[in-house]
Structure 1
Amino acid sequence: MGRVAPKRQAPPIRLRRLAAELRRLREISGLTRDDVAERTGINAATLYRIETAKVRPQQRTLVGLLDLYGVADPQRSEILALSRTADEQGWLRPYHADLPNEYTAYISFEAEARGVRNYESLFVPGLLQTEDYARAVIRGVLPMATPKEVDQRVQARVERQAVFEKEHPLELWAILDEAALRREVGGRQVMADQLDHLTKAAADPHITLQVIPFGTGAHPGMPGSFVLMDFPEAVDPSVVYIDSMAGDLFLEAEEDVRRYSQIFDHLRAQALSPNDSVALIGALVRETT
């Protein structure tokens, strides 16, 4: 009998993030892998393995790449720190008031995902927010943010919605508590426009929208919102994302992913059907206007 090849260990989420960031930095520098190999002496095959999260780069190699790409602090220090912990599971990214020029880790993962399962208890999901609603939310949640910081975050939130326009659009399954629909964020007109936008988004074949009505009573989503991201490659396991006041928390342990998947399944079963959910949102639009 032939030997069975050992199953490849899935790369930790930090290593996947590091690989994606190095790939992004090379691409915005306008360099091919062969260009990098010629300028640094790093073998092109080695660079491919680094950029696909198959190996963690050695410190000397990583410094050489950052020098070539012209990466300065604070981004440089963050990437070096990420590399030092790349083999560890889970990831808590401390909260920062401003949005860096590069996309944050969550947005990058979302852009690479095949599907997103999102439960929201207080907000309309970011991928389904109108610009006016997003601006009102960001101003309310971050009262100390400057107008420039608000603009940066609004722009990033709107740009995220391009995932529905890709050749293979993102599959979004969003479940909202009714409370997220009844809170008048930005005033009656902004909220009416947002609710109307939701009814139109629900017609997209790549978007499934459900609402958990107040009449359901207590349910498993009450402790807080969460996102489950699924990726095209089997070797890239699903990731749980939780946004908190302390920062962005990424969970990748199999038991965590399984637990949140089960919670989402319970929420899906307790929520109204997609058709009934759209009917409820339509009724709220009429109430608001």
Structure 2
Amino acid sequence: MAGNSPDRGRTVSTVLGRRLGGELLRMREARSLRQAHAAEALTASVAKVAKIERGLVPIRDPDIRALCHLYGEVGADFIDRLLALAKTDRERRKASGWWNQYPGLQSMAEYVALEDIATSLRTWQVAIVPGLLQTPDYARALAVGNGSWEDPDEIEPFVESRMARQARLSGDRPLELRVVVHEGALRQLVGGREVMKEQLGRLLDVARQPNVKLQVMPYIAGAHPGMTSAFTIVSFAEPGALDVVHMDTTSTTLWLESDTDAERHGSLFDRISRLGLAQHTSVRLINAILKEL
């Protein structure tokens, strides 16, 4: 999602916008109504309804209420959930987000925007230390090792942007962060011994923060349910703003937006967490690995 145009927030499709639009589309089709009926209820064009249902534009609260009335959805809890979802989506679309000043964040802009308004994150990482806990040298070594940068000069702004994201772990509304990271990620010499010593020290420091729970999945855990992929679950404070699951693959970013996917990955994270070491034991293991270096 490139570009910093003032119109950017009105022309992009977001995870939450697509979810909200999908709900409205489902309700309309369940009533066997056409987009023209929705357009008439909104005193708008059919093109606008199509954009709403595809998540391309933010939705005003009066429009949500009007469509719910048209579709016969009058439950207060259900409507409140949609309104909360729309509010979160509008916040995400604000073009003034700090991440827009970092071109290197374009591919992650949607995720970082969600992270910025989230109240909590649960993340399972198999191969690397999570971005919110990385040191500058570790992040830089990962970027260099990735080898996919067309312009090496973009690496430093990328590292700076990653450090800027870590402001969410402190301040007036610190993010609640639960991390389970595999032991192998802590032993992989990303950037060499000195870089890893600093990185492990950073993990020990952040583990002292009351809003952070850090666990290590040890080698001795054997086979476990998180072996196939890493993922992050993003949660929000607003009632009805359901969890969003984010996964990166070698070729694309995958968003899992359904209630079922959120519940499945929440359960999966809990199972992974139960197999991980307790935080105090995880800290002892990190200290042991640090001493080995």
Q: How far 1:19 moved relative to its partner?
A: 2.6
Q: Whose RCO is larger (CA < 8 A, sep 6+)? A: 1
Partner of 2:47: none
In 2, the alpha carbon distance for the partners of 1:103 and 1:219 equals 29
Q: How far 1:157 moved relative to its partner?
A: 0.5
3-state SS of 1:250 partner? strand
TM-score by length of 1: 0.69
Map 1:12-51 to 2 at 5 A.
19-20=90-91, 22-25=93-96
Change (3 A) 1:4 1:257: closer
Q: How far 1:244 moved relative to its partner?
A: 1.3
In 1, the alpha carbon distance for the partners of 2:280 and 2:77 equals 46
TM-score by length of 2: 0.68
Map 1:263-282 to 2 at 5 A.
263-282=268-287
Q: How far 1:235 moved relative to its partner?
A: 2.3
Q: How far 1:148 moved relative to its partner?
A: 1.9
Map 1:144-163 to 2 at 5 A.
144-163=149-168
Partner of 1:196: 201
Map 1:221-240 to 2 at 5 A.
221-240=226-245
In 2, the alpha carbon distance for the partners of 1:267 and 1:22 equals 33
In 1, the alpha carbon distance for the partners of 2:196 and 2:141 equals 10
Aligned-pair RMSD on alpha carbons?
Answer: 2.8
Q: Is the 8 A contact 1:17 1:105 kept in 2?
A: no
The percent of aligned pairs where both chains have the same amino acid is 34
Q: 2:171 aligns with which of 141, 166, 172?
A: 166
Deviation readout 1:124-158 (Å, 9 max, x if unpaired): 01000000000001111234442222112111110
The yes-or-no answer on 1:262 pairing with 2:267 is yes
Partner of 1:7: 78
Q: How far 1:8 moved relative to its partner?
A: 1.6
Q: Is the 8 A contact 1:13 1:252 kept in 2?
A: no
Q: Is the 8 A contact 1:139 1:145 kept in 2?
A: no
Amino acid at match of 1:133: Y
Aligned length: 217
Change (3 A) 1:148 1:272: same
The yes-or-no answer on 1:181 pairing with 2:186 is yes
Q: How far 1:175 moved relative to its partner?
A: 0.1
Structure 2, unmatched stretches of 5+, are 1-73
3-state SS of 2:139 partner? helix
3-state SS of 2:185 partner? helix
3-state SS of 1:7 partner? helix
Partner of 1:218: 223
Task: Name the structure where helix makes up a greater proportion of residues.
Answer: 2
Q: Is the 8 A contact 1:121 1:180 kept in 2?
A: yes
Q: Is the 8 A contact 2:105 2:158 kept in 1?
A: no
Partner of 1:286: 291
3-state SS of 1:242 partner? strand
Deviation above 4 Å: which 4+ runs of structure 1? Answer: 9-18, 25-28, 100-103
Q: How far 1:20 moved relative to its partner?
A: 3.4
In 1, the alpha carbon distance for the partners of 2:185 and 2:148 equals 20
Q: How far 1:243 moved relative to its partner?
A: 1.0
Q: Is the 8 A contact 2:124 2:230 kept in 1?
A: yes
Amino acid at match of 2:264: R
Deviation readout 1:237-263 (Å, 9 max, x if unpaired): 110000112222111201100110111
Q: How far 1:224 moved relative to its partner?
A: 0.9
Deviation readout 1:24-71 (Å, 9 max, x if unpaired): 35999xxxxxxxxxxxxxxxxxxxxxxxxxxxxxxxxxxxxxxxxxxx
Deviation readout 1:202-252 (Å, 9 max, x if unpaired): 001111000010011111111111000110101211100001122221112
Deviation readout 1:142-198 (Å, 9 max, x if unpaired): 344422221121111100000012312000000001110010000000001101110
Change (3 A) 1:153 1:221: same
3-state SS of 1:276 partner? helix
Partner of 1:93: none
